[in-house]
Structure 1
Amino acid sequence: FGFGDPKSYSIMECAVDRLSKTGAVRHGAECFNYTFPQELDDEFLIISDALPGKIPWKYVGVKELQGFLRDRIEEGYTVPLNPKWIICDHGWKDLYDRLLASNKPYVQESLDVWYPPDSGVRETIEKMHCCHPDGFRRIGEEAHDTSVGKVEEQDETEEMDMEDVHFLLKKFIILQGVKRKLRARLLCMCLARTMPCAGGP
């Protein structure tokens, strides 16, 4: 099911179990697919009673979805965002920053689950965003510099293909695992020093 929180796991387990005959839901949400995230779709279905009119659903594009989510964040809702979207795709970093700045109940708690403060994920997101503020672009694509309203060609040396991104993500995940094991080993060593020996005086 990915790297979701306990509530998301239970929702997905129930959905997969209930809809197993139709195959409508086969895996967890893409926002928790940290191993090899897929490209975002061009169209999304929003189901909400906050939509205008009498119909509680609507198909929208990326910008309209981001606007809808921006409004929900202002109301105190929290939204899981895949780090790949924040780093690579235009507009998602703004939502991530709004979540970080929110002082609404539960928002910071959810962020601590999705992007643990001591994991280095938040720092990595910021570092990569500083290097590529317009996200990753394929060679030849134009990057939009929203700060000055210009369109400029991105330097080819700044380009990364999906294999490079996947390699860096894999390397990061392995490094985090090594750090966890090292911390656990050091903790065991410290505990062993403070405990009296079995059979000692």
Structure 2
Amino acid sequence: MFHVANDARFWDRIARKYAADPIADMAGYERTLERTRHYLNGAETAFEFGCGTGTTALRLAPSLRRIVATDISSGMIAIAREKAEAEDRANVAFEVATPDAAPWPDESFDVALGFNVLHLVAAREAALNGVHRLLKPGGLFISKTPCLKEMNPLVRIAVRVMQVFGKAPYVAFLSAADLEREMAAAGFEIIERARHASRGRDARPFLVARKR
């Protein structure tokens, strides 16, 4: 709970700046959206966690019956709601929540989404178990996660220094293999593995996992 509260304050503080920052690899982002849409037919109800300011939820909303997108940061959610209102997206709801403490009943959703967030979750086991609980039998969990263990070791030093000065939240140093083991332990079977970066070495595996 300490990490959630502390990190929520961090993201609240930088929410407006985060919303203004451009996506670093737009081509890679578009590939992720395209591949995600491949698994959607317009009839699904989806749950997203770590939605930030709602960009991805709003981009995917036309391919879904309904999406509930969540984040720990009320500041991020406020911006997401502003964007949804501006776009008049009636099938999108933004809420402050986490997968392990989500208020929705078991097996409420067909699809769960978690983009660029799992490395920021200290209680990943609880989060993954929460995602599993919320999904219907055979439901899909689609994610893309920066795996800092696969990046230059200097990244680890930089993150630690930034954390000392309050410039970075909790960050886990994971590999793709670590992620897959954790997902398997939570009751998921990986059905697709991909890398979508348009340039350089891609340390953000895109994983599609089915609830067993």
TM-score between the two structures when normalised by the length of structure 2: 0.29
Larger Rg over CA atoms: 1
> Which protein has the bigger helix share?
1
Higher RCO (Cα < 8 Å, 6 or more apart): 2
